[in-house]
Chains A and B, each alone.
Chain A
Amino acid sequence: MDHPFAITLDVGSSLNNQTGSWRVSRPVYLDRLPPCNNACPAGENIQEWLFHAESGDYETAWRALTKNNPLPACMGRVCYHPCEDACNRITVDSAVGINSVERFLGDEAIKKGWKFDKPATETGKKVLVIGAGPSGLSAAYHLRRLGHSVTIRDAGPKAGGMMRFGIPSYRLPRDVLDAEIQRIVDMGVEIKLDSHVANVLQAKTEGKFDAVFLAVGAHIGKHTNIPAGAAAKIVDAVSVLRSMEGGEKPLLGRRVVIYGGGNTALDVARTAKRLGATESIIVYRRNREKMPAHDFELEEALEEGVVMKWLSTIKRFDDDGKLTVEKMKLDETGWPQPTGEYETLEADSVVLALGQDVDLSLLDGVPGLVINKGVVEVNKQMMTGAAGIFAGGDMVPSERTVTVGIGHGKKAARNIDAWLKGETYDAAPKHDLAVADNLNTWYYTDAPHTVRPTLDMVRRQSTFEEVVKGLDETNALYEARRCLSCGNCFECDNCYGVCPDNAVIKLGPGKRFKFNYDYCKGCGICASECPCGAIKMVAEDI
């Protein structure tokens, strides 16, 4: 009884009152899959590398990026960035310029001479990669990281595949490509050039390889039968772009007509302009909406003076340079139908950009291997019907882009690695997608997209200098910091700050937070006010 006068109870604390028992739903931290990562054909963890770039730690960012893609400087130039189309920031102002930050990191790595680590242990297994394009290089890189010995054989005089012989240098400067290939070679990957593989089984046996990855690409330009005079110059787009890499530039004349509506047609049209053509006209049988080429490439081509002839097909090309085209109209299914109306154009040459086929001659007589519609069938593990022979890139059924090729290379490498161990590779299950509705965008400042400067028009039409320039450090950092970190905690302390019950425990930098369920009443303010949607409310079993 040593209490003061009129006091009968000891001093108590509210901690005796465990208000967690009031709860009907509980907050739970989770990681959701950012839409950019989900959309990336190369499987990059974009949100992760942007997180490091935001604090200016570019080397860590680059190392995080290259866990999935060994060619960021190339990809930062030629990728069609489906990540940006998926970006949730579109609902706030405009998409984060992921592609331009990737390019900045890639260029920074070349400038600073950052290298890939050699594998810690050697497995002693030998893998043959056929084709030194994006898919083959990617597979070689990933296989080498896993400790396998890798040899790439390519029929061409230089490595890079379609990145070198298909993409014009104004989009991908060759010194950038060379630097990124050299970095893969420096890991201990052997590249044999001018080394055509005539028979894959023979090459495998002779070289004592344990597995093969086929990535020969699609290098044969498709043709169509156009009635033409004997002197009329008709060439295909792939040959034109390939000969740009040789000593003798293709002679296309002053008036060039390109037939087709894909990105390759635009590449040739823009190349023709740079070679001195006064007229560079693309003839395409459908309209702009139906055109498979990317919109920004069309925009850049139009800015450079390329002319589009929509809804037209080529009927005849005479010796005197008269090109007859027929007007088309789209039927209800969106397919072009002839109208019987004709007109005449003047042309020195016609370039066919109608798609490409794969040279499959090296696969003759491989037992079990299935070819369907000119491409090789593969299973979920990227393996062909022949055991130990995998394939990827343009020679398997898929969208034909550099990014898809790089993704195939990675996927195939993981599966080849598992196969060599006698296992099957299982990808980890994906998290739920972080959609815009999960975000509380109030907490983000408005900051519009940094547009990369484009080369001034006159220089663009006459030279093969790079059209789209890069970001510098300041605006790359700015752009990286526009990332909303969709679905992944970036430790903004909001949940810790806004809990009325002091029931969020901050664990310190890099360690995130945890809930104190003894006192959490389940109000849900943390989940509502989480900017990036990394908390969800789950009903309690009552």
Chain B
Amino acid sequence: MNNILDLEPTQKLKFYQKGTFTVGNRLVSEEERAVQSSMGRSNSINCGHRGCRGCGEALGARFAVDAAMRACDNNLVVVNATGCLEVFSTPYPESAWQVAWVHSLFGNAAAVATGVAAAYRVKGRKEVRVMAQGGDGGTTDIGLGCLSGMFERNDDVMYICYDNEAYMNTGVQRSSATPPAARTATTDAVGPEPGNVFGTGKSVARIAMAHRIPYVATATVADLHDLERKVIKSMSIHGARYIHINVPCPLGWGAQSHDTIRLARLAVETGIFPVYEGEYGKVTESRKIRDRQPVEAFLKPQRRFAHLFKKPNDPRIAQIQAIADANIAEFDLIAKEDQE
């Protein structure tokens, strides 16, 4: 595991062989392969869950929780906010979880996790680690107060938000993580400004950094090695930690089920979703774009943005491009050698 930590977060992998970015690779050592390549991975969320075909959140949750399990020798308690992940994984009395798992209310996962961590501390069970997880609704909207409290007290909890950019479980209603112009059940693609408003946006990762907690990171299901490295690094730290994972939702985004990882990849490669990490309030690293794409590449395969392509050159596409460009500049997403 140390070997994963030793890898520079943004190093250009130079194995010069096929499959360098793949989950596993027979030509590299066991330590350099992803946790997900292991036959002994915990499969924290097992087969038979009721997530939709191609669910990005189920995938992101298994990636993150399996890595966390590996990092603490399976001494993990997971607190799960209400939301898609909870509903599709655990319809009473069945559960897909193969990990100690507590269901909280929609908005108080961070507070419940704080309590669980306090209980283990009182009992002297130092080996037990606690994580909380929820969707964007339970994190960026409803749970933000409890989350901010957990940050501010620096409670020993790793909080992971699986961001699929709307309230998918209840029928795709807008959340504060819904991107501009996206059509949802509550932001219909009608009228003079169809889809979601071009607001100021809300970045919980940056809100978390404003609390100067020990560790904050963003990640996507399209870069497993990066995601696992961040979870494992986060598990090596005590105190409040926050990881924000972009998880495409085929149903809510109106995308093909087989495009889940492709869309997560395009969100990164266009600059729409910046992948970075920070410690104590400062950004320390950002993941460089490998093959930069215009935002249309990300928008076009999704029906929630179909109204942008009804007539040519919709000015809102340029607005979205401007947001992506601003991300690229702010987080320094183009590697020096790629800047001509």
Do A502 and B95 touch across chains, with their CB atoms under 8 A apart? Answer: no
Q: Is B340 among interface residues, defined by CB-CB distance under 8 A?
A: no
With A497-B37, A528-B261 already in contact, the answer to whether A445 and B16 are too (CB < 8 A) is yes
Q: Roughly how many angstroms separate A17 CA and B59 CA in the complex, as a whole number?
A: 18
Bound: A12/B89 CA distance, A: 12
- Evaluate whether A19 and B50 lie within 8 angstroms (CB atoms) in the complex, with A493-B34, A500-B56, A525-B257 already known: yes
Instruction: Check A500 against B37 for contact (C-beta < 8 Å).
Output: no
State the CA gap A537–B51 with chains docked (Å).
20
User: Does B280 sit at the interface, judged by CB under 8 A?
Assistant: no
Across the interface, do B56 and A493 meet the contact criterion of CB distance under 8 Å? no
The distance in angstroms between the C-alpha atoms of A508 and B24, with both chains bound, is 12
Pair A481/B27 contact, Cβ less than 8 Å: yes
Inter-subunit contact B59/A14 (CB<8 Å): no
Interface bits B273-300 vs A (CB < 8 Å: 1, else 0): 0000000000000000001000000000
Tell me the nearest residue of chain A to B59, going by C-beta. A500
Q: Kindly state the separation between the CA atoms of A527 and B256 in the bound complex, as whole angstroms.
A: 13
| In the assembled complex, A447 has its CB within 8 A of some CB on chain B | yes
- Chain B residue with Cβ nearest A521: B53
Please judge, given known A-B contacts A482-B16, A523-B53, whether A496 and B94 are in contact too, CB under 8 Å: no
Is A485's CB within 8 Å of the partner chain B? yes
User: Given A478-B16, A527-B258, are A498 and B95 also a contact pair (CB < 8 Å)?
Assistant: no
The A-B contact count (CB < 8 A) is 170
Q: Which residues of B contact A13 (CB under 8 A)?
A: 46, 48, 94-96
Q: Which residues on the A side are within 8 Å of B39 (C-beta)?
A: 506, 508
Collect the chain A residues with CB atoms within 8 Å of residue B17's CB: 54, 445, 481-482
A527 vs B259: C-alpha distance when bound (angstroms): 10
**A17 near B50: Cβ-Cβ < 8 Å:** yes
Q: Which residue of A lies closest to B35 (CB)?
A: A497
Distance A501 CA – B15 CA, assembled complex (angstroms): 30
Give the distance in Å from the alpha carbon of A136 to the alpha carbon of B159 in the complex. 71
Do A16 and B59 contact each other (CB < 8 Å), given the known contacts A54-B17, A500-B260, A525-B257? no
Q: How far is the CB of A126 from chain B (nearest CB, A)?
A: 46
Tell me whether A524 and B48 are in contact (CB under 8 A). Answer: no
Q: Does A257 contact B (CB under 8 A)?
A: no
Q: Quick one: which of B128-170 are within 8 Å of A by CB? A: none
Q: Does A434 contact B (CB under 8 A)?
A: no
Contact partners of A501 in chain B: CB under 8 A: 47, 49, 51, 58
Bound form: Cα–Cα A501–B27 in Å: 27
B256 contacts across to A, CB distance below 8 A = 524
Are B21 and A524 interface neighbours, CB within 8 A? no
Task: Tell me which residues from 294 to 331 in chain B have a Cβ below 8 Å from any Cβ of chain A.
Answer: none
User: Once the chains are docked, how many angstroms separate the CA of A75 from the CA of B27?
Assistant: 28
Per the bound structure, the CA–CA distance linking A443 and B34 in Å amounts to 14
A55 on the B face (CB < 8 A): yes
Encode A491-512 as 1/0 by CB contact (under 8 A) with B. Answer: 1111011111111001011000
A531 part of interface (Cβ distance < 8 Å): yes
A443–B261 contact, CB under 8 A? no
| Count of A interface residues, CB-CB < 8 Å | 55
Q: Which residues of A contact B250 (CB under 8 A)?
A: 523
Tell me which residues across on chain A come within 8 A of B37, comparing CB atoms. 493, 496-497
Minimum CB–CB distance from A6 to chain B (whole Å) comes to 11
List, in ascending order, chain A residues with CB within 8 A of B20's CB. Answer: 443-445
- Bound CA–CA A494/B261 (angstroms): 11
Complex interface bits, B56-92 against A, C-beta within 8 A gives 1, otherwise 0: 1011001000000000000000000000000001001
Q: Tell whether, in the assembled complex, residue A444 and residue B19 are in contact, meaning their CB atoms are under 8 Å apart.
A: yes
Q: Indicate the member of B43, B260, B265 with the most A CB atoms within 10 Å.
A: B260
Q: State which residues 242-282 of B face A: CB under 8 Å.
A: 250, 256-262, 265
What residues of chain A lie closer than 8 Å to B33, measured between beta carbons? 493
Other-chain contact of A10, B23, B93, B95, B257 (Cβ < 8 Å) = B93
- In contact, B257 and A15 (Cβ under 8 angstroms): no
Residues of A close to B48: CB separation below 8 A: 13-19, 519
Asked whether any CB of chain B lies closer than 8 Å to the CB of A442, the reply is: yes
Q: Is the CB of A502 within 8 A of B23?
A: no
- Among residues of A, the one whose C-beta sits closest to the C-beta of B33 is A493
The distance in angstroms between the C-alpha atoms of A503 and B20, with both chains bound, is 24
Residues of B within 8 A of A508 (CB): 39
A505 to chain B, nearest CB (A): 9
From known contacts A55-B27, A528-B261, infer whether A492 and B22 are also in contact, taking CB-CB under 8 Å.
Answer: yes
Q: Are B16 and A498 in contact (CB under 8 A)?
A: no
Pairwise interchain contact B36-A493, C-beta atoms closer than 8 A: yes
Residue from A481, A501, A506, A529 with most neighbouring chain B CB atoms (10 Å): A501
B21–A443 touching, CB < 8 Å: yes
Min CB–CB distance B141 → chain A (angstroms): 25
Q: Name which residue of chain B comes closest to A484, CB basis.
A: B18
* A502 vs B39: C-alpha distance when bound (angstroms): 12
Provide the bound-state CA to CA distance between A492 and B27, in Å.
9
**Is A522 part of the binding interface, using a Cβ–Cβ cutoff of 8 Å?**
yes
- Determine if A483 is an interface residue (Cβ-Cβ < 8 Å): yes
Per-position binary interface string of chain B over residues 105-138, scored 1 when its CB falls under 8 Å from any chain A CB and 0 otherwise: 0000000000000000000000000000000000
* B301 nearest CB across to chain A (Å): 12
The residue in B19, B24, B95 that gathers the most chain A C-beta atoms within 10 A of its C-beta is B19
Whether the Cβ atoms of B260 and A9 lie closer than 8 Å is no
Does A518 sit at the interface, judged by CB under 8 A? Answer: yes
Contact B25 A445 (CB under 8 A): no
B104 to chain A, nearest CB (A): 18
Provide the residues of chain A in CB contact with B92, threshold 8 Å: 9
| Binary CB contact string for chain A from 18 to 52 against chain B (1 if under 8 A, 0 otherwise) | 11001000000000000000000000000000000
Q: Which of chain A's residues have a CB closer than 8 A to the CB of B16?
A: 445, 447, 478, 481-482
Q: What is the CA–CA distance of A484 and B18 in the complex, to the nearest angstrom?
A: 6
* Complex Cα spacing A481 to B225, Å: 21
Of B23, B55, B58, B94, the residue contacting A17 (CB under 8 A) is B94
- CB atoms of A490 and B19 under 8 A apart: yes
**Best-surrounded residue of A478, A491, A492, A528 (most CB of chain B within 10 A):** A492
In the complex, the chain A residue whose C-beta lies closest to that of B95 is A14
Q: A443-B20, A524-B54 are in contact. Are A502 and B45 (CB under 8 A)?
A: yes
Cβ of B55 to closest chain A Cβ, rounded Å: 5
User: Contact at A502–B18, with CB atoms within 8 Å?
Assistant: no
Pair A14/B89 contact, Cβ less than 8 Å: yes
User: Do A445 and B94 have beta carbons less than 8 Å apart?
Assistant: no
Q: Which residue of A lies closest to B94 (CB)?
A: A12
Assess whether B94 is in contact with A491, with CB atoms less than 8 Å apart. no
Chain B: minimal CB distance from A19 (Å): 6
Taking a contact as CB atoms under 8 Å apart, the answer to whether A500 and B58 are in contact is yes
For B53, B259, B261, the residue with the greatest tally of chain A CB atoms inside 10 Å of its CB is B53
Chain B, residue nearest A526 (CB): B258
Instruction: Select B59's contact among A444, A445, A498, A509, beta carbons within 8 Å.
Output: A498
Bound-state CA distance A516–B46 (Å) is 12
A-binding residues in B (CB < 8 A): 13-27, 33-34, 36-37, 39, 43, 45-51, 53-56, 58-59, 62, 89, 92-96, 224, 250, 256-262, 265, 291
Interchain Cβ contacts under 8 Å between A and B, 22 examples:
A12-B93, A13-B48, A14-B46, A14-B50, A19-B48, A442-B265, A443-B22, A483-B18, A490-B18, A492-B24, A493-B24, A493-B33, A496-B37, A497-B36, A502-B47, A508-B39, A509-B26, A519-B47, A524-B257, A525-B258, A528-B261, A531-B19
17 extra interface residue pairs, beta carbon distance < 8 Å, beyond A490-B19, A498-B23, A500-B59: A11-B93, A14-B46, A14-B48, A14-B49, A16-B94, A17-B94, A54-B18, A445-B16, A485-B18, A491-B24, A493-B24, A502-B45, A521-B53, A521-B54, A527-B258, A529-B261, A531-B22
